[in-house]
Structure 1
């Protein structure tokens, strides 16, 4: 029998496969592939879990953002109400101030009128006294003149003051 190179290649292949089977290489490869598949599955599970946590965090932050926006709107509305109240209060205080100033001005005007009337009356009294004195001085003489003058001056001053 003549063995050619194909036969020896076939025998080498059989021996190689037997050696591989004897050393349990397919089992080790299967274990390695299973281990690798388990690692990949664990990484996928971890990635899925991280994705879910990220989605939860995103939802939490979106909820917090909405709450913050609502709180900001509430603060803004409260600030607007407070500003309106302060504006109204300032308007009322201004109106009260103007009313008080007008009342004080009217009182001052009335006081000035009263003072002017008193001054005119006093001037009229002084003028009347002077005229009466002049008339009495021309018509009366001596003791009568002095007594009438003093009596008239006293009466006029008593009535006008």
Structure 2
């Protein structure tokens, strides 16, 4: 009914009616175009094209709405996955930081231990060197004493040999034997 009223108003407002010529004639092109247009609209209405169009548009709107809902669900899922991966990345980063910190601490501890070991080794070597030096000094002092004793004995022998006569030597030998015998018994 709407369509008929629309067509009637379109006819009433046509420029051909305003000019006063006969409008309802097949010779009038405006009238023929109007009839073709009305026939076209009638065919569309008869075959229920507007209903089909609205049905198709509604179906398309529903499918778009479903796609939008799916896209929202996928987006939410993607955001939750992203948040999960970000949490995992933070956990992994924190773990990596802990591992690096532990490695640094162990390296520092190993360096301190190595330093302590080196100091201990150096102290031991210094002590050993000092002992060797002291031993060498003692040996040198002993050698010097032995040489001094040997030289003194040799010098004393020469002095005694020059000052002593054969009779004095025999008397000293007899005294030494008697002292040794007295001490042994």
State the TM-score, normalizing by the size of structure 2: 0.67
Match status 1:122 vs 2:146: yes
Does residue 139 (structure 1) correspond to residue 163 (structure 2)? The answer is yes
| Equivalent in the alignment of 2:91 | 67
Q: Flag structure 2 segments of 5+ consecutive residues without an equivalent.
A: 1-22, 177-185
Distance apart, 1:134 and its partner CA? 0.3
**Partner of residue 25 from structure 1, selected from 28, 49, 56:** 49
5 Å-filtered alignment, 1:1-161, equals: 3-4=24-25, 12-142=36-166, 144=169
Q: Could you give the per-residue CA deviations for residues 131-150 of structure 1, whole angstroms, max 9, x where no partner exists?
A: 121022113345937x96xx
TM superposition shift of 1:102: 1.4
Q: Count how many residue pairs are aligned between Structure 1 and Structure 2.
A: 147
Matched residue, 1:155: none
CA RMSD of aligned residues (A): 2.6
Q: Distance in 2 between matches of 1:7 and 1:116?
A: 148
Q: Distance in 1 between matches of 2:35 and 2:122?
A: 122
Q: CA deviation at 1:96?
A: 0.2
Q: CA deviation at 1:75?
A: 1.4
**Shift of residue 100, structure 1, vs aligned partner:** 0.3
Higher relative contact order (CA 8 A, sep 6+): 1
Hey, what does 2:3 align to over in structure 1? none
Structure 1: any 5+ residue segments left out of the alignment? 152-161
TM-score of the superposition, structure 1-length normalised? 0.76
Counterpart of 1:156? none
CA distance in structure 2 between the partners assigned to 1:70 and 1:118 by the alignment: 71
